[in-house]
Structure formats: C-alpha cells, structure tokens
Amino acid sequence: MKTLFVIAWRNIWRNPGRSGVLLMAVVAGLWAGVVTVGTMNGMLNQRVDYLIDSEIAHAQIHNPEFLLERRPYDYIPEFDKLVEILESDQRVAGFAPRVLADGMLQSPVKTAGVRIRGIDITKETQTTSFHENLVDGQYLDSDIRNAVFVGQRLLESHKLRIGNRLVLTFEDVNGDLTSAAFTISGSFQSASSDYDESHVFVRVTDLLPLLSPDSEVYHEVAVRLHDIALSDEFVRDISAQITGVKAQTWNQISPELSTLVELGGVMLHIVTLIIMLALAFGILNTMLMAIFERLREIGMLLSIGMSRAKVFLLIMLESVVLTLTGAVTGIILALISIRRFAETGINFEMFADGIASLGWDHVVYPVLSTQEFAGIIVIVIVITMLSSLYPAIKAMRQNPLEVEK
Amino acid sequence: MKNHIIKTENISKTYNPDTVPVHALKAVNLEFSKGEFTSIVGPSGSGKTTLLNMLGGLDKPTEGHVEVDGVKITGMKDSKLIEFRLQNIGFVFQHYNLIPVFTAKENVSFIMLLQKRSKKEMEHRAEELLNKVGLGDRMDARPKQMSGGQQQRVAVARALASEPKFILADEPTANLDTSSAMNLLDIMEKMNKEQGITFIFSTHDQRVIDRARRVITMVDGQVHTDEIHKESSSTITENDSQRIDTE
Ligand SMILES: Nc1ncnc2c1ncn2[C@@H]1O[C@H](COP(=O)(O)OP(=O)(O)OP(=O)(O)O)[C@@H](O)[C@H]1O
Ligand SMILES: [Mg+2]
C-alpha cells in the first residue's frame, strides 16, 4: 500500500502541467465555493440575529386568539400572574410587554395602513435593540406628549419632518374607532425598508388610555433569555404554567427565519456540489488522458502479475490524492479568508440600496460551522471517489497484451 | 513424467475468427524442459509472439491447451492466472517496460513486493541481482537515465527477482545495439549455466540465434524445425564473466 502510494504520487507528477492545472482548478474552485457559501451563510445569520435582537427576541407570549385575528380585545389574560412568573424565572434576561393595534396613519399628504406598537420603553430597551435603529430626532424617551417613532422611509413618503404631527386611527377594545394626533419625535431605519414604512412605535402610556381606558391590557410579551438555546424549554414551561396563553419560540413566530437558517445549509451543499461536479469532469478527463498514455505500462503490470484490484487501487489513489491535495489546499485557503473576513467584514456598500430593501446588512461577516464544514468534506470526498471510479475501472480492465504494442 | 516445465497440446490461435480470420498458430505441440536456453525464430508474422503469449498465459489459445509444471493454465480464471504468472513466469519485453517513476532497484523490488516477500529479502535480492547484471552502480537511476541495454538488464533482473520457473523474452535484443545485445546474452547465458534458469526467447538476430542451445523455427504458424545445437560458442569463458562483472 505504501509503495502504491509512492507510485501514485510520482505518477501524478509525471505530467506536472496537466496535474498542476487540475490542482489549481480544484484549489480555486473550492476556495471560491467555500468563501461564497460562508458569505451567504454570514448574511443569513446576520439577518436572523438582527431580527431576533431588534424585534422578535427569543420567545413571545400572546393570547392564541390574537394570533389569528389580531383583534384588540384578544389581550393576554392574567397578565399580572405572567409578569410574576417571568420575574422569578432565572432564564429570563428581560421581557417587554407590548400593546398592538392595526390602523390608519393620516398625514397631510396621504393615508396609509400601519401597525402601531405601544411599548414600555424601559422594558423594551432591556429586551430588544430596536432603539439603536434611530437615525434622526429622538427615541420615545423624549418629553413630547403622544410621541411617535416612525421609519425614515415613511417620513419621506409622507413628506413629513421631525416635530410634525400625524393622526393614528384604530379600533379600541370595545370595537369602537378612536383617533389621536401624535408628534414625530424621531425616525429609525431598520434593515428592512418595507418594515420601516409600515410600522410606527408609540409609548404604551400614550396608547393605553385610547385603546383601553379602563384597564391595563397587553397583546404581546417578548422575552429575551440568557441563552437562545433555552427557548424551547422555556416556552414549554410557560405553556405548562399558565393556561389561556400561547408561548412561542423565535422560530415558531417567524418560520421564515428558521427556513432561512436551513436554506443557508442547503445552499452550502448545493454550491459545493455544483463546483465539485464541474471539477469531476476535470478529474475524469485528466485521469483518462493519464491512462491512455500509459496503456503499455498498465499491460506490463498485469503481465508480470500485479492483480487487477491493485491496478484499480493505484489509479484510484492517483486520482484521489491529486484531487484531495487540491481540495484540502482550497479549503484551508478558504478558511483563512473566512477567518479574515469574519473580523473585517465584507462591505457590499455599492449594492447597499438593493440589499437594504430586502432587509439585509451591507457589511457581511462570513461564517462556517463545524457541521457545514464536515458536510463540504463529505461531498468533496464522495464526488472525488465517484469521478475516479471510471478511469480506475478502465485501467483495471486493460488487456495485459497492451504491453507489446 | 514431469521432466518438462511447459507443454503445449495442439494449440491453435485464430485472430478475428468472425471477420478476417488469421491463423497465427496451427496445432503446435512443444515441450520445454528445465534449464533450457531456447530461441524461437522465424520470419515476421510466423507466430513467434503469439506462441510466447500462449506459453506465458498472456493470451488464450483458440484450441488446445498449455500446461506449466503440470498445471493446466488454459482456462484458468483471470485473477488466478495473474497470480500464477507472478509466482511462476518471468517476462522480459522488447521495449524493456520498466516502471518509469521507479529506480532500477525499486523496479526489481516491486515484483517481490507483489509476492509479499519481506523487506529485508527484497532489498538484499534486488541489490544482488543488479550487481549480477552489472548495474551495481546504477541502482538509484530511473529508466530514463539509463541506456536501452542497461534498462533491459534491469528487466532481466526484475524477471529473475520473482524466482520464476522460466523466463520468456520476446525479441529482448531487438532495440539494442550489437554490443549491448551480446552483453545481455552473456548475462542470460551465465544465469542459465550457473543457476539453471530457463530462458525462452524469440529473435531475428543471427548472432543471438547462434548462442541458443535449442532453436525452434516457426513458419506460418507451425513448427518447421526444432534442433538442439551442440555447445560451442555459447560456452562461457573466464573472460566473459569478468566482462559482466565490470560492466
Ligand atoms: N491481435 C492480433 N489481431 C489480429 N491478428 C494478429 C494479432 N496479433 C498478431 N496477428 C497476426 O498473427 C500472425 C502472427 O503474428 P505474431 O505477432 O505472432 O508474429 P511474429 O512471428 O511475432 O512476427 P514478428 O517477427 O513481426 O514479431 C501475423 O499474421 C499477425 O498479423
Ligand atoms: Mg513478434
């Protein structure tokens, strides 16, 4: 076996040009593939992290009815008991009760549908980082009465400025329409400009008297845990402790987020597979050329008594050693690049506008998990083996009489 | 009964039986004994190569069969036949056919490795054989760095390394100049005399034919003559053996 390895290695370098070209192709292909995949992966992860951090948090609790119809009177029952439980739960890092209303926004220019989110600014700040999206003016911690925090995009499309007033109209808990004027305290820009145009934030203390003058009601509680991995277990415990509410983890709330995470994994393997399939033809071509040049030598080996199995093994070794040398080099280079870019980030500023409307960051930090990495290695090995098989079988089936030609 | 190591029983070989049949061998009956030094001669296309292929189990006769040391190799399973060749038959080819990426010593060792001999034995035997063929100082040379004559001597050493029952050589001197050819013959003859190694070789070269003790002449796929030559010029002299050692 060791000797076969030696012959294989020396055979590879008999035609340094041809082997070199294949080697470079494998190195370049895998480097580009793995870096691309790491970048896509990074983008997806950042998107997911951003949504979790800025808005969704790790878990949310609602009245199950509210999730279906979003009616103002489907608020969380036994809210005080829930607060008690959350405050005593060691896993909870912070929680934010929210009052939600879907309604109309009227500006001097036009009327548009909006989602109004009434927030407790102290608790919200402990739970999410949405306040960090402030671009102009002030967050809701201003002294202005009936302050509203709106998206920069909404501000522009309604031709409004900080300090201008707008009217919000929505249904109260009794099913009656109610309106009030709010003053714009500041504007934000989240990663998604669609979101920015359709959501406004107000203080819960301003919204509650309009929506439910008689009692304190909340539609949603967002919970941030000390560790995202505790989400499932936390949600199970809450559901067991209180009836009449529905607790959900971040991926239940936003299935598209977990789809994104899975998509990242799938893309990774698809890209690797496509690159490897292209390389497989290179391997096949190179090895077939190498064999056709050496028919006489293979005939000699069979004549003097080398078994067909060993001839097969020899050609497999040549092919696999050559490809894997390139693959390992390519992957190592890719990991170095990814590690570097993971610190500095890759700046896609030139496409920033397009990316932003889809809700993506323009500085991307590529990542690759150990599992994904293992997946790539498996694909590389399998494809290398498969594409080496045909030349090796071809060699093995030669007639020993080739030696006389 | 077993004084012969190869026996052909009415072997015929027809190439392309279905299209343009070529009757390369026609009912050939031959026996070869241990220690022979035999040349197969005849005009081009007379069937010399075809006959050697049959004797070496590289090709199958269309009819008849070949026995080696009492074992019928015709009809043997391919994988068994390869193993049989490894253990019993040595080959020297016209084009030397060494492994180009191996040194002389590695080429000689390789066949012993296939036979699964111990590393120590391989080393020792490869060096001994290369010394015997006069290449003690070229052990680490690769085929490309050696002359045709030197490469063919490595090939002879390789054939000897596996301790075969006999060595088949199809026109081993065809690509060599006269002095290299005679030198190779000297070596083969010496091995034959001193160690009783059986050589069967085909050739067109009269000087090579003259060195053989038995000459089989093929004509048109049949044995035309089969003569035993008296030992004459082939006797190895003091002078000859010195020439081998110092080469
Ligand atoms: N693979 C083959 N297919 C068809 N015909 C063949 C094949 N090999 C040899 N022959 C034919 O069989 C006959 C005997 O060929 P062979 O090679 O045995 O002759 P040879 O005596 O070795 O000739 P040479 O001295 O030229 O080497 C020739 O007519 C040749 O053309
Ligand atoms: Mg011939």
Sign of CA dihedral A317, A318, A322, A323: negative
Q: How confident is the model at residue B238 (pLDDT cuts 50, 70, 90)?
A: very low
A353 pLDDT band, cuts 50/70/90, is low
Q: What is the pLDDT of residues A145-193, one digit of tens each?
A: 999 999 999 999 999 999 999 999 999 999 899 999 999 999 999 877 8
Nearest to A198 by CA among A105, A98, A62, A97: A105
From CA A129, how far away is CA A197, in angstroms rounded? 19
Per-residue model confidence as pLDDT tens digits over B77-103: 999 999 999 999 999 999 999 999 999
What's chain B's average pLDDT? 91
Q: Whose CA is nearest to atom 18 of ligand 1?
A: B47
Whether the predicted pLDDT of B239 surpasses 50: no
For residues A391 and A401, give the distance between their C-alpha atoms in angstroms, rounded to a whole number. 19
Indicate whether A115 pLDDT > 60.
yes
Nearest to B59 among A3, A306, A401 (CB): A401
Residues of A in contact with B87 (CB under 8 A): 305
Nearest to A211 by CA among A288, A103, A138, A122: A103
Task: Flag whether residue B189 sits within 8 Å of chain A, measured between CB atoms.
Answer: no
pLDDT band at residue B242 under the 50/70/90 scheme? very low
Average pLDDT over residues A1-7: 87
Shortest alpha-carbon distance between residue B24 and chain A (Å): 15
Looking at CATH, the fold of the domain delimited by B4-246 is given as Rossmann fold (3.40.50)
Inform me whether the C-beta atom of residue B82 falls under 8 Å from chain A C-beta atoms: yes
Q: Is the dihedral of CA B87, B92, B97, B98 positive or negative?
A: positive
pLDDT the model gives residue A372 = 83
**Region A257-284: what's the mean pLDDT?**
85
Q: What is the pLDDT of residue A352?
A: 62
CB A172 within 8 A of CB A71: no
| CA gap A107, B130 in Å, rounded | 101
Helix (H, G, I), strand (E, B) or coil at A21: helix
Mean pLDDT of chain A: 90
ipTM tops 0.95: no
The average pLDDT across A119-126 equals 94
Contacts of residue A223, defined as CB under 8 A and 6 or more positions apart, other chains included, come to A57, A58, A59, A60, A61, A86, A92, A94, A95, A127, A234
Question: B33-84: per-residue pLDDT in tens?
Answer: 999 999 999 999 999 999 999 999 999 999 999 999 999 999 999 999 999 9
Is residue B48 within 6 Å of ligand 1 at its C-beta?
A: yes
Per-residue pLDDT band for A59 (boundaries 50, 70, 90) equals very high
- pLDDT at position A354: 59
Answer for the pair B64, B41: CB distance below 8 angstroms, yes or no.
no
What are A346's strand-pairing partners? A364
Count of residues making up chain A: 405
Q: Is the pTM of this model over 0.95?
A: no
For the segment A58-75, the average pLDDT, to the nearest whole number, is: 93
Q: How far apart are CA A92 and CA A226, in angstroms?
A: 6
Q: How far apart are CA A12 and CA A19, in angstroms?
A: 6
Q: In chain B, where are the structural domains located?
A: 4-246
**Token pair in block for residue A222:** 């967002």
Residues facing residue A95 across a β-bridge: A223
- What's the CA gap between A376 and A273, in Å, rounded? 8
Say how many C-beta atoms besides its own lie within 10 A of residue B239's C-beta.
7
Number of H helices, E strands in chain A: 15, 12
pLDDT score, position B161: 97
- The residue of chain B nearest to residue A10, with distances taken between CA atoms, is B101
Q: What gap in Å lies between CA B49 and CA B203, rounded to an integer?
A: 10
Check A297 against B97: CB less than 8 A apart.
yes
Min Cα separation B146/chain A (Å): 17
Q: Rounded to 5 degrees, what angle do the CA atoms B226, B32, B48 make?
A: 60
Count Cα atoms within 13 angstroms, Cβ side, for A372: 27
pLDDT at B183 over 90: yes
Q: Left (φ > 0), alpha (ψ -120 to 50) or beta: where does A159 sit? A: left
> Residue A62 corresponds to which amino acid?
H
The distance of B164 to chain A (nearest Cα, Å) reads 11
Distances (CA, A) of B216 to A165, A169, B21, B223: 118, 116, 25, 7
The mean pLDDT value for B172-190 works out to 95
State the best of B55, B78, B101, B165 to mutate against chain A, taking most chain A CBs within 10 Å: B101
> Looking at residue B234, what is its pLDDT?
44
pLDDT given at position A359: 57
Enumerate residues 6+ apart whose C-beta is below 8 A from B77.
none
Sign of the C-alpha dihedral computed for residues A136, A138, A140 and A144 taken in this order: negative
pLDDT higher than threshold 90 for residue B218: yes
Tokens of A181: 């004027």
Residue B166, beta-bridge partner list: B89
The H-or-E segment that residue A104 falls in is strand A92-106
B59 touches chain A (CB under 8 A): yes
Nearest Cα to Cα of residue A75 among A56, A54, A53, A98:
A98
B197 by Cβ neighbours in 10 Å (0-12 / 13-18 / 19+) ranks as buried
| Residues from chain A contacting residue B94 (CB–CB below 8 Å) | 404
Distance between CA atoms of residues A172 and A103, nearest Å: 10
Contact A120, A169 (CB under 8 A): no
Residue keyed to tokens 């070989």: B13
- When CB atoms are compared, the residue of B58, B100, B102 closest to A303 is B58
Contact of B111 with A305, CB cutoff 8 Å: yes
% of chain A surpassing 70 pLDDT: 97
> What is the distance between the alpha carbons of residues A167 and A148, in angstroms, rounded to a whole number?
10
- pLDDT (tens digit, 9 = 90+) per residue, B128-151? 999 999 999 999 999 999 999 999
CA A112, CA A106: separation in Å to the nearest integer?
Answer: 7
Tokens 């548009």 appear where?
A112
Average pLDDT over residues A270-285: 90
Distance B49 CA to ligand 2 centre (A): 4
- Measure Cα distances from B54 to A67, A309, B74, B75 in Å: 86, 23, 9, 12
